[in-house]
Amino acid sequence: MRALISIAILLTCCCIACNDSSSAKKDYSGWTTYAGSKDGIRYSSNDQITLQNVSTLEVAWTYSSNDKDPDNRSQNQCNPIMVDGVLYGTTPRLKLFALNAATGETKWLFDPAALDSTAKKDPYAFFKVNRGVVYWQDEKGTDKRILYSTGSKIYAINLSDGKQITDFGKGGYINLTEGLDREPGSYNPFISATSPGIIYKDLFITGHRVAESADAAPGHVRAYDVRTGDRKWIFHTIPKPGEKGYETWQDPDAWKKFGGANNWAGMSLDEQHGIVYVPTGSIGGDFYGGIRKGQNLFGNSLIALDAATGKYIWHYQMVHHDLWDRDLPANPNLVTIHKKGRRIDAVAQITKHGYIFLFDRSTGEPVFPIEEKAVPASDLPGEEAWPTQPIPTLPEPFARQHFGRDDILDMDKESHNELLEKFNHVKYNTMFTPPSKEGVWIFPGFDGGGEWGGAAVDPETGIMYINCSELPWSLTMIDIPGRNGKDRSLKGIGQSVYGKYCVACHGPELRGNESSIPGLNGLGKKYSYEQTWRIIENGKNMMPAFKQIKGNEKDALMAFLMDIEEKEPSAKSSKNKEPVSEVNSTKPSILDEVPYTMTGYNRFLDRNGYPGIKPPWGTLNAVDLNTGTLLWKVTLGEFSELTQKGISPTGTENYGGPLVTKGGLVFIAATKDEKIRAFDKETGNVVWESILPAAGYATPATYTIDGRQYVVIACGGGKIGSKSGDSYVAFALPRAAN
């Protein structure tokens, strides 16, 4: 295998030498940007750590912020950056730190909670997700700043002392809930910037996360003046009349009503040509599209925009009229490949269903043919599924594309029979079968295939490295519970409110999905009335805020969740004294037009919590983008108790991405077994591993200071049943080896 890949690499490098001799070499020695560089390829030319010496890596330093959630629900997905010997990143409570990148010693710490009055009332307000920060300096190098998000706020922080720059935006921050070109109150106000934006000259370009419901905020992409915070341009991802894509909606007022089509996963920038590449998510209301009929541009699309003006250049939609929550999950990779002797500047976009879409960067033309294939129609009344979906002929998919009876886990007979019974309760198991009351399988999973950790690409070879989870989830539609119910008690109406806002995540029986969405039964034994109220109001971790639930609707929801029998609103809550019968008399919402919801995000697991499909459950893959060939696939992660029984490593569900280096290595944590590993990038063999203090559900960064190369990973845990952590660990070779 190594010999074959070495020959492929040699031929590719020869092509590059022949065809790219005039091109200026990019500098990949630093890590000053999320994903390593603005082309988003997670590559480093640092090569002190090699195949020959990686086995001697040791912990160089550890930094702990001591602010994890004691209930193990906090996370830290940050990919830190290094500028002039200082490491910048965030903690589970969204504090921004500056560390000596060689020692881990703290230089300064910015705590946004100190500036926010809600933090004093709500200890959970700042347990949110942040995946990285943005660095900018002016041409003279006299003005240097970090921009980073704390939910809907983007702060500008002075690089030298960690102080807020108060003349940026309104008092030192941009509020992303403003300036969306939509009437206030016409959408769910939840907005949060989880992945960092990107800098083009003096512009800060950003997307944001929105709610998953049909009333979601629009996902318009915006650019701001990095000095003043003034909005400079906006691209409407749900087009207005006269704009490209408007005709793909049957409803002429779609731009006034619908949200989503948001860039939550980051973007990439061709700085030389001034083009920013923006992947988007689905339209709000993930699983029922009967109220948003049409192709639904620019949902689930890769969009190329003029970075200076926001003007449209080209797009490609990878899922039409999405009904499966197939958001484009990560920033694209800007690469140069060679196909049949021709050099192509390309952009590669990974997907949740395990495909890589590859386009000419300038024109948007597919590098390999993409076929529109017929898919099943919907059996839900009112739904009109799109009749075809695009499937790339190449590159080869990096995830399995089918889940059937023969694929069910068979580690023991009794468990196998239980899984078969579960399997038989879900009728449809083909990709792109629309959601149904009889159930469909989502495979490789809602969080399967590629996800926000993204892919790494070696620019010297054009080989992509991507981790993948392969776990079936079931999706079953139901009528919204409590809708038009006869129980007009406070709890009865609360059930209706729960069905409107909460059931899609927590399920009709309030059980959550065990591993990442908590159950709500017995909520009053865990939280006080006031604590629960604040969590609904402000959100917590990955749960969005629900400020749009007004008046007695919230009182009724609280009565349902906290099992309160009183007939009138509690004096402890909103103090809204409208009669209970008036709860649903508020202004109609688009949510009232949605007849169905789903029973929750349900992983297919056996009685022991293992995925109900035959392994591998988590993999690391190498794909040659020049030819579209899958070069190798290896398991990523293991369950030690299964390995001890003689079962080959199965891989685990994984979150976070890889890092590839010139030294011949792919570094990745991401696994549930709380390890970080180094793989031989030519063969996929594990050549080093180390235990972390908590699972590293993040992407590593690497850099060199004073001749010593470091690899740093955030250890935040907190997902899929993992304990939460609040540390960063840096690895390096022993000083004697340097």
Cα separation of 616 and 648, whole Å?
10
The verdict on whether omega for the bond into residue 443 sits within 30 degrees of 0, i.e. cis, is no
Q: How confident is the model at residue 485 (pLDDT cuts 50, 70, 90)?
A: low
Q: Which of 494, 471, 508, 732 is nearest to 616 (CA)?
A: 471
Instruction: Kindly write down the DSSP assignment for every residue of 266-291, as one continuous string.
Output: --EEETTTTEEEEE--PBSSTT--TT
Helical spans, DSSP H, in 467-589: 490-501, 503-506, 523-526, 529-538, 551-562
Query: Looking at residue 164, what DSSP letter applies?
Result: B
For residue 145, which of 204, 92, 95, 191 has the smallest C-alpha distance?
A: 204
Which phi and psi (to 5°) does residue 489 adopt?
-70, 170
Cα 445 to chain center, whole Å? 14
Alpha carbons 527 and 524: distance in angstroms, whole number: 5
What are the φ and ψ backbone dihedral angles of 266, each rounded to 5 degrees? Answer: 95, 170
Distance, CA of 230 to CA of 157 (rounded, Å): 16
Architecture of domain 481-593: Orthogonal Bundle (1.10)
Average pLDDT of 561-588? Answer: 52
Q: Which residues contact residue 585 at a Cβ distance below 8 angstroms, ignoring those fewer than 6 apart? A: none
β-pair type (596-598, 463-469): unpaired
Question: Higher pLDDT residue, 712 or 521?
Answer: 712
Q: Taking the model in full, what pTM does it have?
A: 0.91
DSSP strand pairing (275-279 vs 301-306): antiparallel
Q: How many CB atoms lie within 10 A of CB 246?
A: 16
- End-to-end CA gap in the chain: 31
Say if residue 21's pLDDT is above 60.
no
CB atoms within 10 A of CB 668: 30
| Residues 191, 262: Cα–Cα separation, whole Å | 10
pLDDT at 15 over 50: no
As a whole number of angstroms, the distance between CA 298 and CA 317 comes to: 7
pLDDT of residue 606: 95
Cα 556 from Cα 211, distance rounded (Å): 21
Average pLDDT over residues 526-530: 81
User: What digits encode the pLDDT tens for the residues 380-431?
Assistant: 999 999 999 999 999 999 999 999 999 999 998 999 999 999 999 999 999 9
Tokens 């408007």 map to which residue? 246
DSSP output for 312-328: EEEEEESSSS-SS----
DSSP helix/strand/coil, 468: strand
* DSSP secondary structure letter of residue 581: G
Tens digit of each residue's pLDDT (9 = 90 or more) over 321-374 = 999 999 999 999 999 999 999 999 999 999 999 999 999 999 999 999 999 999
Amino acid 73: pLDDT: 87
d(C-alpha 148, C-alpha 157), whole Å? 8
Mean pLDDT of the chain: 90
CA distance 105 to 62: 9
Token representation of residue 549: 């639930």
**Ramachandran angles phi, psi of 394, nearest 5°:** -150, 155
Helix (H, G, I), strand (E, B) or coil at 635: strand
* Domain chopping of the chain, boundaries: 481-593
Rounding to the nearest 10 degrees, give the CA dihedral for residues 628, 633, 637, 641.
150
3 state SS of 218 = strand
